[in-house]
Amino acid sequence: MWQDWLWTMLGLLGTLLFVTLNALVFAVVYVKVMGNSFGKASFKPTKSNNDNVKFADVLGVDEAKREAEEVVDFLRKAADLHAIGAKAPKGVLLVGPPGTGKTLLAKAIANEAGVPFFSISGADFNEVFVGVGASRLRKLYAEARKHKTAIVFIDEIDALGRSRVNNQFGGQEHNNTLNAFLVELDGFGRDGCTVITIGATNFEESLDAAMLRPGRFDRKVYVGLPSLEGRMAILEHYLKRLKKVGTLDTRQLAAATPMMSGAELATLVNEASIMAVRANRQIVTMEDFTTAIERMGIGQVQAKTISPHEREVIAWHEAGHAVVGHFSKSAKQLHKVSIIPTGRAALGFTWSVHREDRHLASREELIAEIAVFYGGRLAEEMAFGDGAVTVGAGSDLKRATQLAEAMVWDFGYAPGFPGAYREATLSDATKRQLDEAVSLLLDEARAIARTILTTRENELARLAKALLEHETLDGAEVDALFEPNRPQAPRVEELQDHAA
């Protein structure tokens, strides 16, 4: 009898001990999280004189710098603004692609103005416990308001201010934190202080409408990708950090890096120096930069076993792209063509770059680009017959179709449909007509590619043979093979007219 009683007591004690230990663990975690949230703010104030970043260090975004200079004037002349009853903007939103220098620009504003700089990430306000994020916000702005003028910089502000409409990942904590942020932007309890909030985001469309209304974020600065001249300045800035550099044409290097951000250009310079070290050289050369660009844009060379027949197919395929691109009205210039496998899936590549920074494209240039996509498949047909073409052109055909659809549905290049119809409500008959217009554009581009390849069959075969022998050719080497001034070659305008 007493044995049963003993086992019962031991079971109760074990259950009690288990519950106690769980409660203790929960209490320790809760106190740690809540204590860290309410007792400390997860940011470190940085005085401007502790950081040497100035406007001169922010390169490639001259337009954004000019707008940022206005913010500096507001901070420097805060007393004058208050004296006449004017107000400095409460918020400045920096919008742009990743790596363009938004954080660097915010630091430069604080340093140029000579005011304290408080930096924090929007993700630091996202917590499980209700009230934690709002408490951190109040703590942050309370610290900033201890100074007469200050800047609060919130990086990735979309993590804090994403829209509350159809927000599947929000909840009560996110709403409370965002509401607390809106209150701080409204400036209650400022007591004459000038605290400007600078937010940085890559996704302006994801922000809550209440945050973007006038009176909160009054300034919106777009920090875009650098132009050709901007890329030259950025490259020259980072090249100064290298101890030994060979003869480099920074304009040529900048032209070969379109659509690269400042951060990507910094990585490019570092990658090029790594390439030089791997080659046991003490000087960084243009060849190292070319290899680094290829690795960043196309991918690293892969050790894949290619059969002799597949290697020949790839050579004709890439030669087809190169020939059509060279002899059509393409806005791009051939930089390199190779049959060496790179990246995850590419068995070869034809790399072309714009001769200059481009923001607009004409209809004939877009048609020429689609024709280039078709060049690989058509070259395979010419060399091996219709029944022997491979699946290697799958991505080319997909990109060609996407571009043709954009020309019809977005750019108004369909006969009789001079408008954008992507978001419009259309009848089935209209959709069929638009789809037919897409097919006509594809047929037109395909005809141009076929005409070029047929007329330039000698150059096509010569290039394919050279690729099989050398594997990789640059633009100058390909130009030497093409001999574009041969008398039997028709003009590009004649090819366009014939295809039409």
Show which residues are catalytic. 318
CA distance 338 to 42: 50
- Find where tokens 């890439």 sit: 318
DSSP string, 184-218: HHHTTT-TT-EEEEEEEES-GGGB-HHHHSTTTEE
Nearest 5°: the CA angle 153, 159, 163 is 115
Give CA–CA dist 112/423, Å, rounded: 45
Q: Report which secondary-structure segment, H or E, holds 97.
A: none
Which of 154, 81, 162 is closest to 124 using CA atoms? 154
DSSP-assigned beta bridge partners for residue 363: none
- Give CA separation, 110 vs 52, 59, 107, 198, 249, in Å: 10, 17, 5, 10, 35
Give yes or no for a contact between 71 and 105, defined as CB atoms under 8 angstroms apart.
Answer: no
Q: How far apart are CA 166 and CA 314, in angstroms?
A: 48
Q: Is residue 177 classed as helix, strand or coil in its secondary structure?
A: helix
Query: Tokens 């001169």 identify what position?
Result: 56
- Helices H / strands E in the chain, number of each: 19, 8
Of 262, 208, 176, residue with least CA distance to 93:
208
Cβ neighbours of residue 49 closer than 8 Å, sequence gap 6 or more: 111, 114
Instruction: Give the C-alpha distances (Å, rounded to integers) separating 4 from 10, 50, 83.
Output: 10, 73, 86
Alpha-carbon separation of residue 144 from 157, 190, 372, 495 (angstroms)? 18, 10, 57, 67
Q: Is 483 helix (H, G, I), strand (E, B) or coil?
A: coil
Exposure letters 177-190 (e unless 16+ CB within 10 A, then b): bbebbeebbebeee
- For 195, phi then psi, to 5°, come to -115, 115
Cα–chain-centroid distance for residue 409? 24
Assigned token pair, 316: 């004709």
What the block records as the tokens of 169 is 């990942």
Residue 321 to residue 336: CA distance in whole angstroms: 11
Length of the chain: 500
Would you say 376 and 398 are in contact if contact means Cβ atoms under 8 Å apart?
Answer: no
